[in-house]
Amino acid sequence: MVKLVLVVCGIAAVLAGAFVQAAIDMEIENRAVDRTIDLTSQLVKISYKITLEHKSKLPISTYLFVVPEADREKLAFISAKDSSKKELKLTETTTPKGVTFSMTLPAGASNPVVYIETVFTKSLKPFPSSITQSERQLVQYFGNVYFYSPYPTVTQKTTVHLSSRNVESYTQFKPSVQSDSTVTYGPYDNVAAFSHEPMTIHFENFTPFLTVTRLERTIEVSHWGNIAVEETIDIVHSGATLKGAFSRYDYQKDARSNQPSVKSYKTLLPASATGVYYRDTNGNISTSALRTLKDAVELDLRPRFPLFGGWRTHYTLGYNVPSFEYLFQNGDNFLLKMRVIDHIFDDMMIDEVVTKVILPEGANNIKLIAPYSIQRHPDTLHYTYLDTFGRPVISFSKRNLVENHINDFNLKYNFSRVMMLQEPLLVVGFLYVLFLFVIIWMRLDFSIIKDKEPHQHKD
């Protein structure tokens, strides 16, 4: 049975590859490619400006963009736009060459221009992997000198932006030049399709290497005017691990502004957030600072200890927002519109997020509309005060998220406003039964022997 499954999967992969190969219009070529690789943070952000041309001067309706197989699991986000900056819909297909994204171009342009942005996680490897408290953090980036494309490229140029001018080494594939914190490759002319030339850059990167290994976000909706949000967050410093013992004295004496450790970071909450709390397993953390901005609430989070490579922290962050800003009503139909994730820190990287939405008791006909692909989990029930048959809980998760995933999800459901009277009526009914019981209790006589009547004395 296992062999049969493997054979079927192999045949499917071959057919998919053959389909994509057949879909490639060999008359299309990349006339000019301007690629920018941003390595100034823990993320690898690559943007492309691609000018297309058809050799037969025919209109180009479909364009294929390929992410190599080696980078498939690291790809967190991709988007494509046309020359008018209008978003293009992407269709994903897995092939032996990697992941192929197909996009339909607007008609009318003789030499259409496509803008593509990609974000990769865990593409920078600390080297050395362990450093002492006083050493610099060096990382390596492995890439391709050429633009990896199913089409031939007439001319291309790549600009790599680094976080520091301290470059240990880089692949010197001519023409290439380093200037301050920038490395430029090209221009290269007449590059064949699927060309590959290894690129390695070894440089200093002292930006915070923080990874949210797990984020559990709970949103509890109340039709009495409040929405409570609570996040349970696990964070690890994913940079070069600390070698040797930690010295608090040396740490306080170190005046470097580019230390690889993380003292604090800023989290942005909705502008209407109130009742903010920040605590860990030991209780409330009073070292945090809250500041109200024009369009957000900025929370400066400072863990109980600085985070070095390999160190972890765990905490809970909660706040309340008014429901009228996120909950919309049309009769008994309701629409909840909230973010899947909030901004935790700059250039954040999240391994897994689990979002749970707790709706009022009695909500039904629930429909979830996500801004991107997610994994929906079975609905469950949540019980709290005065609940009878439980509140529906809608859960979904997603892996490998970055700041580009800060988008709203829509949750539609039906809820009868009569159900809002359920809990008050339960309280009234309970008090009524209680008072009735007390009245009956006071009127009952549970004595075993009745008191004798007093004797009357005659004069």
Provide DSSP, 3-62: HHHHHHHHHHHHHHHHHHHHH--TTEEEEEEEEEEEESSSSEEEEEEEEEEETT-PPP-E
pLDDT number for residue 66:
96
pLDDT number for residue 110:
75
CA distance 164 to 185: 18
Measured between alpha carbons, how far is residue 242 from residues 126, 129, 257, 282 in Å?
Answer: 12, 9, 18, 24
CA dihedral 292, 294, 297, 302 (to 10 degrees): -70
In order of start, what are the domains of the chain with their CATH numbers? 22-204 (2.60.40.1730), 210-418 (2.60.40.1730)
Q: Give 248's Cβ-side CA count (13 Å radius).
A: 2
CA dihedral 195, 201, 205, 208 (to 10 degrees): 30
In a 3-state reduction of DSSP, which class is residue 281? coil
Q: Which residue is listed with tokens 């994903």?
A: 92
Smallest CA-to-CA distance from 342 within 215, 158, 163, 183 is with: 215
Smallest CA-to-CA distance from 140 within 129, 154, 153, 150 is with: 129
Smallest CA-to-CA distance from 120 within 343, 400, 372 is with: 400
Smallest CA-to-CA distance from 220 within 326, 141, 295, 314 is with: 326
pLDDT number for residue 421:
61
DSSP 362-377: T-EEEEEE-SS--EEP
Please give the structure tokens belonging to residue 121: 């996680």
Q: Which residue is listed with tokens 């060096």?
A: 138
Query: Which residues, 6 or more positions from 195, have their beta carbon under 8 angstroms from its beta carbon?
Result: 146, 148, 153
- Global confidence as pTM: 0.85
pLDDT number for residue 10:
46
Please list the pLDDT of the chain residue by residue as tens digits (459 residues): 444 444 444 444 444 444 444 468 888 999 999 999 999 999 999 999 999 998 888 888 899 999 999 999 999 999 999 988 999 999 999 888 889 999 999 886 778 999 999 999 999 999 999 988 888 899 999 999 999 999 999 999 999 999 999 999 999 999 999 999 999 998 999 999 999 999 999 999 988 899 999 999 999 999 888 999 999 999 999 999 988 887 877 777 776 667 778 888 999 999 999 999 998 877 777 678 889 898 899 999 988 888 988 999 999 999 999 999 999 999 889 999 999 999 999 999 999 999 999 999 888 999 999 999 999 999 999 888 766 778 899 999 999 999 999 999 999 999 887 666 666 766 777 787 888 888 888 877 776 666 555 555 555
Q: Give 74's Cβ-side CA count (13 Å radius).
A: 21
Smallest CA-to-CA distance from 40 within 189, 159, 215 is with: 159
Measured between alpha carbons, how far is residue 20 from residues 6, 52, 101, 150, 361 in Å?
Answer: 21, 19, 10, 10, 49
